[in-house]
Amino acid sequence: MSHHDRQSEPLVQITHPGVGEDSTGGRKSRRLEACATPEAGANAGKQYWRGLEELAETPEFLQFLQREFPQQASEWNDPVGRRMFLRLMAASLGLAGLGGCSTQPAEHIVPYVKQPEETIPGKPLFFATAMTLSGVATGLLARSNEGRPTKIEGNARHPGSLGATDSFCQAAILELYDPDRSQAIRYRGEISSWSSFLAEARSALEAAGSRQGAGLRLLTETVVSPTLADQIQALLKTYPTAKWHQYDPIHRDSARRAAAMVFGRPVNTIFHFDRADRILSLDADFLSGGPGTLQYVRQFAGRRRVEGDNKMNRLYAVECTATLTGAAADHRLAVAPSEMEEIARLFAAALGSAGAAKETPPSANRHARWIQTAAEDLAKHPGSSLVVAGDQQPPIIHALAHMMNQRLNSVGATVTVTDPVEASPIDQIESLGELSAAMEAGQVELLVMLGGNPVYNTPADLKFGERLGKVTLRIHLSQYHDETSELCHWHIPQVHFLESWSDTRAFNGMFSVVQPLIEPLYGGRSAHQMVAFLAGQAERSDYEIVRDYWKKQWSVSGDTFERRWRQAVHDGIVESRTGFQPVGPSTAQKESTGQAAGATAAVSPPKQSASPSPSSGFEIVFRPDPTIYDGRFANNGWLQELPKPLTKLTWDNAAMISPASAERLGLSNRLGGRGGEYIVDVVELEAGGRKLRAPVWILAGQPDNCVTIHLGYGRRRAGRVGNGAGFNAYLLQTSDSPWSISGASVRKTGETFRLASTQVHQSMEGRDLVRSQTLNEYQQQGSQPAGSAHASGQHDSLYPPVDYPGYAWGMAVDLNTCIGCSGCVVACQSENNIPIVGKEQVARSREMHWLRIDRYYEGPPDNPSVAFQPVLCMHCENAPCEVVCPVAATVHSAEGLNDMVYNRCVGTRYCSHNCPYKVRRFNFLLYSDWETPSLKLMRNPEVTVRSRGVMEKCSYCVQRIASARIESEKDGRRIRDGEIVTACQAACPAEAIVFGDINDPNSRVAKLKAGSRNYSLLDELNVRPRTTYLAAVRNPNPDLETG
C-alpha cells in the first residue's frame, strides 16, 4: 500500500456531494483537488514523475520505493524473541515511569514590578462599599487579599451598619464568586455578543423613539441610587411616553400608602429605639429585617443592658407569625392577620388616639386585658414610647401606628419622619399591575428589566410570565440566567456590587458610593451602563457615570471634587448637603397636624364594621425567607445552609402551623432516624383557587389557624445550589393582598417529606443551660451570681492549676442582647473557609458551622418564651477533648486556646464525643470544594482549607490574634483591648459577643466576666470554659405576669 492511496481517500470524501455545501467546505475541496496525486490524477491526464529513475522504472528505484530506509542503514530484522520482548517491555516500563519526571508546564511567577499603591503582599486591605437590598443600603468594608475580596465587614461610619453586618451582606462574597452566575450575553438562550445586542436593541429603541417612547417600559427593583435615578429620569425625558416601573417582592407599599393617608405624601419613618422605654410592635420584625435593622438592633440591645444606670426597655409584640422580634419581646401576642386591625384599633382606643374601634366593646376581644395593660404602660411613658407597624401589615395598621405615636408624643422623640429614601417612591404592586395589564393589552413593545426576577417573584394573579410573552422585545439584565432570563430574548449578565461603581442610600437617607473590589469576574454590565445605552449615550464606564453625577451634584470640580470624592469613597458615606436631609421633627409635626383632620378620617373605622368574622378557613401569611430573602439568594449555599433562626431548618421552606392547628388537622413532625432530619406531613394549601403542596412545620408560637410560608424557594433556575429546594410560595400570592390571604384551606395529603434541621430537640429538659431572670429578680439579687442555686465557681482538680502569664483569651456572650439573627454564623463561615455540606448531609447532622445558635423553647407551645444561645468552642482550660486525642492533634496553647492541628488529625472523632458542648465538626467526606477555580479565589488565605477526615472547630479566629500580635510586637507593646475582633463579634449588630484578654482586668471581656450575670455553661463539669455567658434578663410587666 503506498502513500498515494491513503492520501487520496480524504479527497474522495471531501468532494462527495453534500459535504462541501457551505462556502468554506467548497473552497476546501477545490484546494485539495488542485493538489491531486499522480495516481488519482492518472485517468485525468498528465502524469508527473519525480525523477528520471522513476520514469525509467529501474529496479533500484523500485527497491527504493519499497524500502523504508536507505541501503546503508542497518535494519533490525531480528524476529522479536522472548528475551528481546521482555527487555523491550522492561525498558518501556522504565521509560514510562520516567515520563512522570518530565518537566512541568512552565508557570510564570510575576512579581509586582510596580507595587500597587498601599499593597503589601500578604496584608489585606479594606475598602468601603455598600450593599443595597430592596432599596436600603448597608455600608460595608470589604477585605481584599491581593486584589481578591475575601470577607465583608460592616462599615462603622455607615448608619445602616455601625460596623455590624447581617447574613446577606456576609454571604455577598459567595455570591460574587458563585460559579453559576451568568457569564455570557444570551439571545434566546444561545450565547451571543454585546454588539449583536446593540444592533437589535438600537433598532427597537429607534422604533420606540419614533413613538415618543410609547411601548417602552423599564422595570427595575426599588431604585435608591441617585445616579441611576438621574439617568432614568433623563431617559424618560428622551422618551416621554415611556414608563418606569419598580417592583421589589419585599416591598413597603403599606407604609407608603399609610404615609399618603396620614401625611398626604410619601415619607420615610426612622425609629430611635435608643430613646424608647416602651415599644409596641404591631407585627414589625424590626430586629431581623427591613430598613435600618442593624442600627435598630444596636439601639434596642443598648437598652436591654442592665448594668450601670441603664434603664431597661420593655417590648410588647403583637405578631402574625413567630419572629425574632417576638422572641425578644417581654410580652408577645400571636394573632391572626385578620385580628390585627381590631387589636390596633383597641390600642388606639386605649391610648385615646384616632381610629379607635367604636363598634366592638373592648372587652369582647379575648386579648382585651393584655391590650389594656400594654397601652397603659405605653401611655405612662409619653415621649419615650414607640409604636412600630410591620411592613407586611396593611396600610391601616401603619396609619394607626402613626396616629398612636402622635398621641404618645413620640414623633420627634422616638420617631422621625423624613423625606423618602427612594428616588421615586411609588406603589410597587400597583406599578407592576399596570405593567402586567399593559403587557396583556399588547401595549409593550420593548421591556427592559434591570435586575429582578419578575417571572418568578411576582404574585401569581398577575401572570407575569405568561404575559411577558406578548412583549415584542424583552431584555433582562440579571446576575443569573434565571426564570425571567429564560423567557427573554436578551439576557445580559449583570455585574455584582463588588464589581462595579454605583451609589446608594441608607435607611435614613445617607448616601454612599459603592466601590468595586475587583474587575468583573464573568464580564457583565451594570444598570448604569444599560440605562446609558438606552439613553443613546456612548459606551461609558460606571465609574464615569457615577462620578459625573456627583460632580454635577456638588457643582465643584478639580481638586475640590477629587478631595471630596476620595473622602466619600474612602469613608463609604457622603457627608453632604444633598445627602442627608431629614424632615425635622417640627416639620413632621406640623405636617401631620395639618393633615390631622384628613388622617383621622382616613383611619377611622368603616361605618359598616366588617368585623372580622372568624373565617372558617385558614389564613396564609407570606414572609421573606430569613436566609434566602425573596429568592435572590437561593443559589447561595451559605444562606441555604444557614439554619433559619427559629425553625433551624435548612435548604427548605415549610408551611408553618401552630401546634393546636396541627393537632386538629392530624399533622405531625416526626423525628427521622438520620440525625438532623424530620419527617413531616405534606399539606395542600388552597387559596383563591390556587393550590400548593408544602411540607408542614409545627412552629411553637404560631397563631392558630394561620399558616406562614416563606417566599424565595421553589426556584427552577437558581443554579446548582438552589434549584429544586423548597416550594414556591409566590404561586399563592395575590397582588391585592400580597402578605396574607384569608379563607384558605389546608388539607393533609398523606404524603411525607424530609426536612433537614440542625436542631432536633427544642427543650432544655430542665437543664441549666440558658439562664434568664426578670429585671426584678436581677435587681433584688444584687451582686449574687446568676442562678445562684447552681453554685458557680472553680472546682477542685487533681492537676495543678496552669498559669497563663501572657495573654489569656476569653469571650463573653451576652444572652440578654443576642437576638438569634445568625449573622455571626455566616461571618464565621466566611472568615474560616467553612464548607457547606448540602441538605442530605445536614439531614445526617453533619453541618460544619463552627458557631451555631441554639434555640430553646420554654412554656406553653402556643406562645412559648424563646431563648437563643450562640455556642462555639469554649476553649476550656481543662479541655476534655485534648486528653483523648491519640495523636495530640488538639492541644492547648500558652494563651489558653484549644488549638486544632489539622495535619496531625487522623479523625478518630473521640474529641467530639468528649466535648460536652459538641462544637467540634468533622469532615466526614470531602466537603470543601477543591476544584472550582472561582471558589479558590474566595477563600481566606489565612485559614487552612480542610480536607476529608479531619476534625475542625472554632479557633477564636486565631489568625486575627496572630496578626494583632505581629502588629503589637512591631510596636513593642501589648495587644490593646478591642484590637482583636473575632469574625462573629464583628458581625454582631447587638454587640453581644465580646472577646479579649481576661488577664487584663480592664478589658471589656474581663469586666463582663466579673459581672453577676456571668456563668459558665455546664459549669459542673469543671472544664473551665473560656467562653462564658451573661444571663438573659427579661423585663415583664408585673401587671401582666399573672395572666
Partner 1 sequence: MQEPSGDQRQPPVIEPGHTFGTITEKIGSIVLTRRTPPAWFFGFALSFGIMMVGLYAIGYLLIRGVGIWGENIPVGWAFDIINFVWWIGIGHAGTLISAILLLLRQDWRTSINRFAEAMTLFAVACAALYPVLHLGRPWLAYWLFPYPNTMGMWPQFRSPLIWDVFAVSTYATVSLLFWFVGLIPDLATLRDRARSRFGRVVYGIFAMGWRGSARHWHRYEIAYLLLAGLATPLVVSVHTVVSLDFAASIVPGWHATMFPPYFVAGAIYSGFAMVMTLAIPLRYAYGLQDFITMRHLHNMAKVMLATGLIVAYGYMMEVFMGWYSGNPYEEYLVLNRMRGPYAPLYWALIGCNVLTPQLLWFRRVRDNVVLLFVLSIVVNVGMWLERFVIIVTSLHRDFLPSSWGMFTPTVWDWATFVGTIGLFLSLLFLFIRFLPMISIFEMRTILPQAEVDGHAPEGD
Q: Binding residues for partner 1, per CB under 8 A?
A: 671-677, 759-767, 769, 841, 844-846, 852, 854-856, 869, 871, 880, 883-888, 904-910, 912-914, 916-918, 920-926, 948-951, 1017-1018, 1021
Rounded CA separation 262/599 (Å): 5
Shortest Cβ distance from residue 178 to partner 1 (Å)?
25
Across-strand partners of 809?
A: 997
CA dist 329 and 333 (Å) reads 10
Closest C-alpha to 297, from 128, 138, 133: 138
Q: Which is nearer to partner 1, 332 or 855 (CB)?
A: 855
Measured from the Cβ of residue 529, the count of other Cβ atoms closer than 10 Å reads 22
**Dihedral angle computed from the Cα positions of residues 644, 649, 655 and 658, in that order, rounded to the nearest 10 degrees:** -80
* C-beta closer to partner 1: residue 517 or 836: 836
* Calpha distance 148→153 (Å, rounded): 15
Q: What is the radius of gyration, based on Cα positions, of the chain?
A: 34
Q: Is residue 493 classed as helix, strand or coil in its secondary structure? A: strand
Contacts of 766 (CB under 8 A, 6+ apart): none
Q: Distance between CA atoms of 154 and 176, rounded to whole angstroms?
A: 17
Q: How far is the CB of 633 from partner 1 (least distance, A)?
A: 25
Nearer to partner 1, 375 or 951 (CB): 951
How long a stretch of residues is the chain? 1043
**To 5 degrees, how large is the angle CA 725–CA 731–CA 733?**
120
Give min distance, CB of 859 to partner 1, in A: 16
Closer CB to partner 1, 908 or 968, in the complex: 908
Q: For residue 795, give the DSSP letter.
A: P
Q: Tell me the closest approach of the beta carbon of residue 1020 to partner 1, in angstroms.
A: 9
Q: What is the DSSP string of 308-351?
A: TTPPP-EEEEEESS--HHHHH-SEEEE--HHHHHHHHHHHHHHH
Dihedral angle of Cα 948, 954, 956, 961, to the nearest 10 degrees: 0
Q: Give whichever of 600 and 914 is closer to partner 1, judged by the CB atom.
A: 914
589/752 with CB nearer partner 1: 752
Least separation, in Å, of the C-beta of 934 and partner 1?
Answer: 25
Of 948 and 973, the one with the shorter C-beta distance to partner 1 is 948
Rounded distance between C-alpha atoms, residue 823 and residue 165, angstroms: 7
Contact 334, 322 (CB under 8 A): yes
- Judge contact between 892 and 927, C-beta under 8 A: no
Sign of CA dihedral 642, 648, 654, 657: negative
Minimum distance of partner 1 from residue 912's CB (angstroms) = 5
Nearest CB to partner 1, comparing residues 8 and 908: 908
Find the shortest distance in angstroms from Cβ 636 to partner 1.
Answer: 23
Cβ-based nearer residue to partner 1, 32 or 679 = 679
Cell of residue 60, nine digits: 533500484
Q: How far apart are CA 326 and CA 337, in angstroms?
A: 15
Q: How far is the CB of 795 from partner 1 (least distance, A)?
A: 13
CA distance 330 to 315: 5
The least CB distance from residue 415 to partner 1, in Å, is: 38
Quote the CA–CA distance of 218 and 203 in Å, as a whole number. 17
Looking at the Cβ atoms of 666 and 673, the one nearer to partner 1 is 673
Distance of CA 657 to the CA centre of its chain: 25
Grid cell 397563631 is found at 703
State which residue, 377 or 877, has the beta carbon closest to partner 1.
Answer: 877
- How far is the C-alpha of 23 from the C-alpha of 41, rounded, in Å? 25
Phi, psi values for residue 268, rounded to 5°: -115, 135
Which is closer to partner 1, CB of 674 or CB of 1004?
674
Least separation, in Å, of the C-beta of 524 and partner 1?
37
Which one, 914 or 934, has the nearer CB to partner 1? 914
Give least dist CB 764 to partner 1, A.
Answer: 6
Least Cβ distance, residue 822 to partner 1 (angstroms): 14
> Minimal distance in Å, beta carbon 880 to partner 1?
5
Chain centre distance of CA 685: 28
* Smallest distance from partner 1 to CB 329, Å: 22
Cα dihedral across residues 514, 516, 521, 526: positive or negative? positive
Residue in this structure with the C-alpha cell 429605639, named with its chain if needed: 273
C-beta closer to partner 1: residue 14 or 679: 679
